Every structure is written in C-alpha cells, then in structure tokens.
A and B are shown apart, each in its own frame.
Chain A
Amino acid sequence: EVQLVESGGGLVEPGGSLRLSCAASGFSFTIAWMNWVRQTPGKGLEWVGRSRSISDGGTSDYAAPVKGRFTISRDDSKNTLFLQMNSLKTEDTAIYYCTTFRYSSGWFADTWGRGTLVTVSS
C-alpha cells in the first residue's frame, strides 16, 4: 500500500523553528519527486515546495512566501522527506501535507499524507 505519514507538527512561537518529517512506503521513494502543500484552517490549499529525486539533481523549489525560510531535504536511505521551517510567522499556521509529485503529461499529486498541524502563536 502506498502511504505517506507526516509527523513533527506542534505549537511554536513566532520566530521559532520546526522540522517536519514524512515517512514514505509502498513505492520507490528514491526516484520520486515529492511536494509539501499546506492548508490554512478553513481555507484553501497552498503549494510550499517540491524536492527532485537525487537522480534528477536532488534540488528543491519553493513558493515565494517561504523561500529563504523553509528547506526541503530527503534521506533516501530512510524513505523520508523533511521540511525545515525557520523564522516562522503566524501566517505559517496550517496543516502541512506531504504528497508525491508525479509527472505524466502534466504534474499531479496522486498520494497525500494525512497532514500534520503547525500552529505558530505566542
């Protein structure tokens, strides 16, 4: 069964840091591109960034609101994706989803984790 399980969410003060993890199973993580997507409570979806597979360069791309503050990394030996979040702001409060980033003719996210809630508040 293809599965993504996020962890690491919690309450953090503005300006603080948090590291999210996403454990993948049931598919070949080493060749997979991966996404982070977030959802502000009661609102819509927002793309955070994506991670290319190591064989495709291993680099990451980010949305403007998080660029320079968030870093996506991966440990292929543990089938795990990470999201390091620094200089957190109240507007970063959201449920953070880990997803696959598949490409056919266009991109799509065919597998989603259940999400982990990050609350930034003093």
Chain B
Amino acid sequence: QSVLTQPPSVSAAPGQKVTISCSGTSSDIGNNYVSWYQQLPETAPKLLIYDNTQRPSAIPDRFSGSKSGTSATLGITGLQTGDEADYYCATWDSSLSVVVFGGGTKLSVL
C-alpha cells in the first residue's frame, strides 16, 4: 500500500482536460514539495513536474502542477493519445526520512 493516494485510473477524450490527485499527510505533502513522473508503456519514468509547479524545459505547458495543504494535483490539457501512461506523484516524508511515491494513476485517452 502506497503512502500517497492516487486514483487508480482516469480517462478523458482527446483534446479534453484531466486532473490527477495525490493525497498525503502533514508529514509528507503537507511540509514538502511534490514531483510528478510520467511512465509510458515499457519505458522508464520521466520527470514532468518538480517543486509542486515547475516544468523541466522539455515538458510542454499542457502539463501543470499545483499543491494545496496535504494534496497535490497534476493537470493535463489538450489531451493526446500519446499521453496515455501511468502517472506518479512523489515527495519526501519528513517523519520517516524516506522518499514516498503514490500508487500511480493510469491515464486513458479514449
């Protein structure tokens, strides 16, 4: 069982917008910054968002991140079939002094 809670799956049509939630506690998300990773089928994860809201230069602005309290959200606009992937949130747990991941969310673009 993962420390951070994500919905197992989300879906939306091409061109639409989707959000993926990541819920934690005051020990992890509540007092630390969140990063998000995209894992396309049969590939290694790739960094999408860091420091809650920041995008690496190669990541398009269709991807956005936000955080409020003990929850974080990944937003994807203008959905494309190539966005079908598993998405993971992650942060530091200050109480356990470990990195914690969410269980992952499978995005389907129907």
Q: Which residues of A contact B (CB under 8 A)?
A: 35, 37, 44-47, 50, 61, 63-64, 97, 102, 104-115
Q: Which residues of B contact A (CB under 8 A)?
A: 2, 32-35, 37, 43-47, 50-52, 54, 56, 88, 90-92, 96-104
Given contacts A44-B104, A112-B45, are A105 and B33 in contact (CB under 8 A)? yes
Whether A108 contacts B98 by the Cβ 8 Å rule is: no
Whether A47 contacts B98 by the Cβ 8 Å rule is: yes
CB nearest neighbor in B for A47: B99
Given contacts A45-B45, A109-B35, A112-B44, are A104 and B104 in contact (CB under 8 A)? no
Whether B34 contacts A106 by the Cβ 8 Å rule is: yes
Given contacts A44-B2, A61-B98, are A106 and B47 in contact (CB under 8 A)? no
Chain A residues lying within 8 Å of B56, measured Cβ to Cβ, are 110
User: Distance (Å) between the CB of A64 and the closest chain B CB?
Assistant: 8
